[in-house]
Structure 1
Amino acid sequence: MEIEKEMKKATLGHEFGAGAACLKCKDKCEGFELHFWRFRAEEFNVLSKIILITGGKYTCLLCSLISDKFEFSPLHQAVRYIELLPPEKRPVAGTQGAAYRRQQMDRQLPEHDQDPSKCHELSPAEVKQMQQYVRKCKDEALGVGDVLLPEEVAQIQAGGTGAAAAGSGGTPGRSCHHCKKPMLLGEPAVYAERAGYDKLWHPACFVCCTCSELLVDMIYFWKKGKMYCGRHYGDSEKPRCGGCDELIFSNEYTQAEGQNWHLKHFCCFDCDCILAGETYVMENDKPICKPCYMKNYAVRCASCQKAVEPEAQRVSYGEHHWHAEPDCFKCSGCTKCLIGQRFMAVKNCLFCSVECKKKVMT
């Protein structure tokens, strides 16, 4: 998709839509007015700056595209940043990329990882631990990527003096921290302050080290030389419950089926009884207690018609099942035990030979 063609003419918000009524206030609204000088970091304490790109049916917000080190970043740099993302992941309104962004926002930054009120029945001690965890995230790991030209980064590293290098080839000694390929002069690159100015990423390479997905809105968590999304940073710090998807702040939890669980959440998916220390069966990737399994899921022996317990050995042939016992898995003609023997199956009947089959079936 050609961004410029789709967007037609890109303009700043104060040039496009000025005076438009709010969709919520409608006639009561005095009209939209954006003063671009209000984005100056010296005057307003904002987490990130925004460029509003409009045109045709497309509108998108790009955060952090103007560096705190420079007063203005050309609009074409923002458009070029979008072009360097995979087509299906470009955050342009009304496209697959916009849906991808919303999906990743929910996936990478779950509310229940950040706000105790979004969690289920935390104890006061767990709330305190979660608040400490959130504070640690903000103080030690959380950051928002910024978009700069490689030559601008070089200028910052040099102390902000001297002219930026000219040319269109690769930046000497600078390569993408993710793919290791050269960073090109004149092409937008992403840097993360917590990682340091010695590291840069191609826009499409600014991804989580665990899920390899683009970091939504360039929100990252830096830990021990690795870049994480919010979800997988949380997973690196705390166990996550396989039932409620929340981080576990209790000292007591259980591990089963390769996952961690709150004690109260590792329960039967049919009757909700707690399964910690109890016998259970995984049915369709869900834990089921033994009574519910016997009632709702267990197969019946074609010979004795009783339910086959989950721990019992059984023999299956097509849609039919038998207890792997001499009293059940036997010839319907001569009652010979067929465990480990050749047999013939006709419907739910077993035979050791053609002769026995003829005796019973004729």
Structure 2
Amino acid sequence: MSDRFDCKNCDESLYGRKYIQVEEKPHCIPCYDRLYANTCQQCKEIIGHNAKELFYENRHYHEHCFRCFRCDRSLADEPFTSQDDGLVCSDCYCNEFSSKCVACDKTVMPGSKMLEYDGATWHEDCFVCHGCEKPIGAEAFIPDSNNYYCVPCYEGRVAPQCSHCKKALTKGGVTYKDKVWHKECFFCTGCKALLAGQPFTSQGESPYCVKCFSSLYAKKCAGCNTAITGFGDGKYISFEDRQWHQPCFKCSRCSVSLVGSGFFPDRDQILCTDCNNDD
């Protein structure tokens, strides 16, 4: 009596029947399809042992189910991509999903190198410097008035020049009297202290900090004998060849404020009306 040759799952005899070995264990065709066959992503039916099967990103398809979900063309021998959980042929993807290059107005094909900036898309070779017209690629660039420049072209052709060192000013800086400086180049002509973010004034074309300007150029208040700089002193009053801080402009005798009032000069003094009448 011959040995039995049965399906390892259902124990039915396999003599005279087709079978498939799994790990050296024979299975009848129905058991193999039920236990090991994959399910088609598209139609959700079993992909039988004798059916052609296509595989993409952990998903399985019957050959006849491997189609563009837009135009229904077979993708078995066509380039394609995926959109959500569906497959799309290149033509449909380009027509419905791809961006257009703002430089050449042609479609940016799936898988091709592209650049995106500020909501716009370019082919990599179309994103060129407005100055030298060389592709910028992955290099740094600087936008200016709807144009784009590589750093050397921007610094050499577009960027303002620092009034002190004459080098390109690409970010930050200080603007004063229609001229620009790097922050580290804008310093007091007297003591060389940096002036960016600090109160300052100028004498001619030269900037000075308050301390240097006060000691070198500011006029002295006839009342308190300190410099009138305009920084923190408010308005000042000038009469003949003398100047006063506004709070210092008061009667030399009674100290009443003379701002907005009549006054009388008396040699080095200034008097209010009452004090002048007392004389």
TM-score by length of 2: 0.40
TM-score by length of 1: 0.32
Structure number with larger C-alpha Rg: 2
| The structure with more helix, counted as a fraction of residues | 1
